[in-house]
A and B are shown apart, each in its own frame.
Chain A
């Protein structure tokens, strides 16, 4: 007996210490603390029971039975506290009621009779129990207030059951298990302990108080739950460690990948307006200090021309429902060099669709841009060269174009000289002559300007171009060539044709090439049938179509596509670059160039260009 009770008390103390320790570590502190207190209270109760069993003096027994209500109150408080903290359930009025009853019991234990159990202990009955040991059991009339104790127990049981019910309804698997384990064990304890004590006190059964023992299932249940929790947290911490390792690895992998791709990862905290590199070792945009910059200072670092564009793109991306940002811009690096960057990002929004932060990558595309520029430059040079070559082929006709006004000027001037030399000069005639000289001079200048424009090696322009005007200008250039070849022109220009955006010179070049090809294709056509068709028309809502047709032999159907390949030529002196260059130009304008055969004879070249909205021709 003594051994069992001592073991129970020490076990309770050990539990108490263990949970105190856990409480000190700060894991579920309130639950653990209340459990530890309950365990201590239980240890005290067990110890008191042991002393009561072994006492031989009535006074001592009475004293123990009076004082035992104090640890019981503590136990009550601890259980309530535990249920509230651990289950986060239980009605507070029930809690207050049971605590109140228990406090009343404690007061009554001191104020009425010898204690709450007995009004007066008349004697000690010596009872032999298992193991041959003899224990003392108090005897005497019961205290009439005794009922307060069991009442508080019932209320406490109600409180626990109510809490368990709430937990059960929570419908989580662990919740339900806990609800069953705790409610059943606590209720079992309360009812057994109180019932048994009442029976012992009433002298119905002769056994020692087993309050401590009946608390054992609760202990086991609580320990099981708490251990489960501990185990669970251990597992979690293991998982956490694994995920941390994984995270670290993936961060490293990301860093390696980003570095080998020369990517810079960055983050823009939109709320605080801080842009920083997410990789500490990497410098963003060559900005060494400070590492965190605001959006405005980022913009100020940009090349001036890119300033507005990037700002607009970013603002657009911040609008709800978009969330994606991409732009290319230049930054003047601290060493004075201008670098090109491509930057893209994704925006995170909060519930109110307010942008929170943008995560993104930036890549230095300077080399690619330089290569692109070099290719562009080469293409421009090739285009220019081809233009010069084309004009070279036209030189005879162009000389004629220029000769006409010069011839007129010379004859006019010499006529004037002769009129003047003759004496009686008609001043009106001289005036007329001078007027003609001026207008012819202008005509010559126009020819030269047209040529100079075509020969010029300039930047590619992106301006509204009226295709009808381009057609007319090109026809002026080839006019005498057409005449020499006895070619009649059928012109069908759509006067409502919208303008296209592009480079006038390059578009002239395309038409010039197509028209000259058409002329050449008709060199074996009967002189009376040499007709050149040039037609412009709107195609759909946003396209302009230009067609150049001839009356030549047409193109073999298998060559309709290969004529656009470089070095494909049917001419004796051609390089085979005219049409490929035309196609490159048209494609660069966002259009298409293709060839078809006309019925009954001849080929037609068509090119389609996107028109610019709002710009009418």
Chain B
């Protein structure tokens, strides 16, 4: 891990439960931050934080599911573990559909919670890693000139240099130069790497669509 240690954010309107959960998490040496209500959490929310959320589902004014929706709307991908007093099936289905990691009933057994938290932190880490990689790719892509980007799209569509030159109304040699430049900028060595990168950046589809139209 090259970042700071993950933090578990616990939100429960019952102060005693909140305190006990915090204690339990500290006993397994996890960083904990507690909030007495979803509103308090949103007020102090820092998008850069990483870790997971432990949410009581039944809270006045703003319940757990609503907070989950709100976070999703803000583009935050913190994984959520729900705690509930009584397992209500429609609620748990909705929670899982909205991407909850787990749905635990109170009183929650420490092992279950710890496992869920580990799983959530792992998910978060994975998410973040994927996120970082994508950012890196997008950064590299932003270095390309518009012409190079155009050439890239044609290359990943599987067209030959000659065909690309004809499409763009230039000579094959120029295409070769552009291709070499963009391979360097994107730090890829083979066509296969280039295709995978383009795919992750979501470039593939556009080109292939056009390709489909043409054939």
Using CB atoms and an 8 Å cutoff, list the residues of chain A in contact with chain B: 396, 399-400, 403-412, 414-416, 418-419, 422, 429, 433, 436, 439-440, 443, 480, 483-484, 486, 488
Contacts and interface: CB of A to CB of B under 8 A. Distances in A.
A403 B27 contact: no
A407 B86 contact: no
Contacts of A429: 23
B16 interface: yes
Interface string B52-77: 00000011110000000000000000
B49 interface: no
Given A403-B85, A410-B108, A418-B110, A436 B16 contact: yes
A483 B108 contact: no
A411 B16 CA distance: 10
A411 B108 contact: yes
A480 B85 contact: yes
A414 B110 contact: yes
A403 B86 contact: yes
A497 to B, nearest CB: 27
B14 interface: yes
Nearest to B23: A415
A409 B107 contact: yes
B11 to A, nearest CB: 14
B107 A411 contact: yes
Contacts of A404: 14, 16-17, 85, 106
Contacts of A415: 20, 23-24, 26-27, 110
A541 B85 CA distance: 46
Given A405-B16, A411-B110, A415-B20, A396 B27 contact: no
Q: Describe A's contact surface by its main secondary structure.
A: helix
A408 B27 contact: no
Nearest to A429: B23
Contact of B58 (A418, A443, A484): A484
B21 interface: yes
B58 A408 contact: no
Contact of A410 (B14, B27, B28, B107): B107
B16 A483 contact: no
Interface centre among B16, B19, B58, B109, by most chain A C-beta atoms within 10 angstroms, is B16
A396 B90 CA distance: 14
Given A396-B88, A407-B107, A412-B20, 13 more contacts: A400-B85, A400-B86, A404-B106, A407-B17, A407-B108, A408-B19, A409-B20, A409-B107, A412-B24, A439-B16, A484-B58, A486-B60, A488-B60
Contacts of B85: 399-400, 403-404, 407, 480
B58 A422 contact: no
A410 B27 CA distance: 14
Sorted nearest first, the 6 A-B pairs with minimum C-beta distance are: A400-B85, A418-B27, A411-B20, A407-B106, A407-B107, A414-B110
Contact of A408 (B17, B88, B110): B17
Contacts of B27: 414-416, 418-419, 422
A403 B23 CA distance: 18
A436 B107 CA distance: 15
Given A399-B85, A404-B106, A408-B17, A483 B60 contact: yes
Contacts of B58: 400, 480, 483-484
B107 to A, nearest CB: 4
Given A418-B24, A422-B27, A406 B59 contact: no
Interface in B122-162: none
A41 B20 CA distance: 132
Interface string B1-38: 00000000000001011011101101110000000000
